[in-house]
Amino acid sequence: MLLLAACSPKTVTPSPQSQIQQAVAATLAAIPTSTRPVPPTPYPTSTPFSLAGLFCEYQFCIGHPIDISFFDVSAQRNPAAPSAYSQGFLAGLNGNIFIQVIWQIAPGAGDPKFMLDTLLDDAVDTPSGNNEVFLLRGMNVVYTDITAAASPALPYGGAGAWTCKDRAFAWKVYTPQADGARGLFDEAMSRFTCGQ
């Protein structure tokens, strides 16, 4: 019996210090960790300018009357070849105004008059004054008033052309009054920007 008693497992009572350490470790392990904060929800900010009367596409923006929307003439003519960054043709109209805008790649072009010549139709457009040439926000610009035989309701107009970065642009409008075209051109150019 003595022999069996000597082989039986002995119960060791842990020291109070050891029990305290184990209890502290278990308590610390049971403390929940803080959850990661939810990232802030981005809310849309207001646009610092009005989008009314502003066409932005093909990496440029141009102003226009708010009751006119541009459509892609290139896509209407050939759906397989719509307007793109490199070249395009837009038109917009309401009952009193008809506007056209064209552009093409023209790296190094300093004189935009060739675009004016491209846009004006010799059969219906007649320049009615001298070309006005000026610099606008670093862009070379040429503008001329025109008389138009395209429609008896829109016998007057104006046309302008300019260069911006690696492209050249041209703009033309037909109006019922002689004095309306230049204001429309100035409005279009006041909001014009181009990018690459």
Q: If phi over 0 gives left and psi between -120 and 50 gives alpha, with beta otherwise, what is residue 143?
A: beta
Scanning 96-135, the segments in alpha helix (DSSP H) are 113-119
Mean pLDDT by 10 residues, the chain (196 residues): 56 76 79 79 73 89 93 93 96 94 91 94 91 93 94 94 95 93 95 84
The model's pTM: 0.74
pLDDT at residue 79, as a whole number: 93
Cβ pair 159, 119 in contact under 8 A: yes
pLDDT at residue 49, as a whole number: 65
Cβ pair 90, 71 in contact under 8 A: yes
pLDDT at residue 176, as a whole number: 94
Residue corresponding to tokens 């990232």: 39
Element at 185 (helix H, strand E): helix 181-190
Bridge-partner residues for 90, per DSSP? 72, 101
User: What amino acid occupies position 110?
Assistant: G
pLDDT at residue 9, as a whole number: 60
Element at 21 (helix H, strand E): helix 16-30
pLDDT at residue 11, as a whole number: 64
Cβ pair 89, 74 in contact under 8 A: yes
